[in-house]
Amino acid sequence: MKRKILNYFTSLILCLSIASPLQAQEQGQLNQRNRTIPSKVEKKKEPEVVYPFYNGISISADLFGIGNKILGGDFLSSEIAIDANLKNRFFPIAEIGYGKTDTWNDNGIHYKSKAPYFRIGMNYNILYKKKFKNCLFIGFRYAMSSFNYDIASLAVNDPIYGGVTDNPNLKDNVWGDSQSFDHRGMKGSMQWFELCGGIRAHIWKALYMGWTIRMKYRTSSSMGLYGNPWYVPGYGKYGTNTIGITYTITYKLPY
């Protein structure tokens, strides 16, 4: 009886000694397989922002033209603009303004002009996929203005003989005499093209502020018989091209 019990006990120890290495080997193989098969981690894609076709209308007013005059500039201008938001990407826009100047230059020539001007074009929002309400845009305008202008020389007091004499700064290079003139009501017109870039930042509720830089290129113009205009409303100083700036406050209408 004791011999049988001893045989059973010996067989149990032998079985356990064989089973333990096999179990450890199987566990090692399983761990190795788990290490060689990478776990798949699904990356969640951010939901794409989709805007409807129509996103409202905004009205803007320029502050730069008025501020420039208050700070001592030669020109006074004011304008308003209206644009529509299409898919937060395209902004067709129309602008109407009024420009004015009444000034003297260093040679004693008086120049005066005032007239409305018009622009029409499109802005493209580079940040149209973003969720925030700010805009970074590029665009173009086609503009025009038809205006009247006056040019006159300034008469001066004669320091030697007294009385009034013609302006010595306007001396004729051929005859050697000073020439005076007073040309009023001359008619001029200009059409030009603008390349624009700027920002519109959301500041509070339906209010936005921003600025626009405008590269202006003259396409056609006409002037009076006695001289070119010095200032063109909406364009600035008469020339082949120029740069303009507008700083606007914008209100987005609730419909």
Euclidean distance between CA atoms 58 and 24, whole angstroms: 74
Confidence (pLDDT) at 172:
58
Q: Identify the CATH number of the domain defined by range 54-252.
A: 2.40.160.20
pTM of the model: 0.74
Rounded to whole angstroms, the Cα distance separating 94 from 110 reads: 33
pLDDT band at 16 (very low <50, low <70, confident <90, very high): very low
**Annotated domain spans of the chain:** 1-35, 54-252
- List residues bridging with 94 in a β-sheet: 82, 120
Average pLDDT, the chain: 82
**How sure is the predictor about 50, in pLDDT bands with cuts at 50, 70 and 90?**
confident
- Residue range 174-202, pLDDT digits in tens: 555 566 778 899 999 999 999 999 999 99
Average pLDDT (237-251) is 93
d(CA 111, CA 89): 43
pLDDT > 70 fraction of the chain, expressed in percent and rounded: 71
Q: Please give the Cα distance from 225 to 207 (Å, whole number).
A: 47
Least Cα distance to 215 among 234, 194, 231 occurs for: 194
Q: Is 45 helix (H, G, I), strand (E, B) or coil?
A: coil
Which residue is it, tokens 């502020």? 209
Contact 116, 98 (CB under 8 A): yes
Average pLDDT over every residue of 22-33:
54
